[in-house]
Amino acid sequence: MPVNAPCITATPARLGWVPEPRNRGTAGIIWSCLLVLFVCTWSVMHHNLPRKDEGFSTTFWRKLRWATLAITAPELLTLFAIMQWNAARRSIRDMHNLGIRDWTETHAFYANAGGFVLEAPDCPPFPINATSISYLISKGKLEMPRTTEREIWDRSKADRCAKWVAVIQTGWLFCNIVVRAIQRLPVTPLELFTMAFVVPTLATQYFWWRKAQNAETPIHLRVEWDIRDMLCEAGPDAAVPYIDTPMDFVEKPVWDGWKRRLRLLHFGGLQERPLTRIPNDYSPPPTGKEAAFIWIISVVHAGIHCLATLTLLGVMILGGLVPVLSTSSWFDFTFNLLWIWVREAKKKTLLREWTFSSLVSCAYILYIAARLVILAEVISVFRSLPAAAYRQVSWMALWPHVG
């Protein structure tokens, strides 16, 4: 009589600490870089206040346009940030000269973002910048706004969680690139492209650190005097028809010489006079130090792109030429040279204006095309990468990150 074999139950295998795989994958590289691009763009954008009657779609598309600019031309965003930062610091000095010590950098940023709206009996309400506020205070036309710095930050919608995620993820990416370079492991062009984006973005974040983010509700300053009387008292400087607001004679807008190209006037709040909101690019002209700083940022930004294209792609001509053409220093040089040529003319001619507009438009197209070529290069290289590019630096896997 056969004897049944004893029933043996298999015990599931149990493991303790399991190390990460020694290699990394394509999806992990792409997702980690995309996260850096997203959180940095999200946290760095500090838009000026919108119009009161603007809907979600209008503000959304405006933010999308500026987000596109932040990714394709981050050094241009840094240029606006440093000009606004310099204007804020100059405003503090002006207020200190008036004996006002409670005016902070946050107040100045908020004013230059359209946070203070002047309401006079004979004029529609319009936003006034920090320079205009100090001018009106010096003339006895306005009292120092009683708004505290804390109240301004309460109106802000700054996402500190996104800022910390950006810091952690960016720190991991930077250390990963440095360690891989030390160990002579290849770095993918997408990682270098992302790092090139981070350099000007960190500079932008620094200059906008004290600026309230995405505030929507302005503070109204009501006065009893007429704008007409104030302009008469200001003298000949205020007799010239204004471009944006009646306070243009105090501080000329940066686009005064160009009168803002007509196609730019159709965005929300820019076609009305006086302006009902301050545009995001509304800044005083850059100083020599600011221009030099942006030039350095542009060269570093383009240099990282050159490193990406020359080390892995081997496209010597295209890889070297495209980043050079895409630097904002080259674009600014072209723009300024053309503008000097137009302004130095004794008589304005249609030919000069048409030539200026056409060449600047071509420069814009070439600038964006160069950036798109770089983006296409860093994506296409994933079709064939050295095997060592997927080797993981073991201890870097312990750094909290996504990807």
pLDDT of 253-308, one tens digit each? Answer: 555 444 444 445 545 556 677 888 888 888 776 777 777 787 787 777 777 767 76
Residues with Cβ within 8 Å of 382's Cβ and at least 6 positions away in sequence, in order, are 26, 30, 188, 190
Range with the poorest average pLDDT among 56-65, 86-95, 172-181, 253-262: 253-262
Decide: helix, strand or coil at residue 126.
strand
89/91 Cα distance (integer angstroms)? 5
DSSP conformation class of 246: T
| Residues 368 and 72: beta-carbon distance below 8 Å | yes
Are 359 and 338 a contacting pair, CB within 8 Å?
yes
**Has residue 185 got a pLDDT over 80?**
yes
Choose among 137, 180, 161: nearest CA to 29.
180
Residue 25 amino acid letter: G
**Cα(91)–Cα(103) distance, integer angstroms:** 9
Per the CB < 8 A criterion, the answer to whether 204 and 79 are in contact is no
Q: Mind spelling out the 3-state secondary structure of 78-119?
A: HHHHHHHHHHHHHHHHHHHHCCCCCCCHHHHHHHHCCCEEEE
Distance CA 39, CA 327 (A): 24
Structure tokens of 317? 């001509």
120 SS3 class:
strand
pLDDT in tens, 107-131: 999 999 999 999 999 899 999 999 9
pLDDT of residue 215: 87
Q: Is 148 left (phi over 0), alpha (psi -120 to 50) or beta?
A: beta
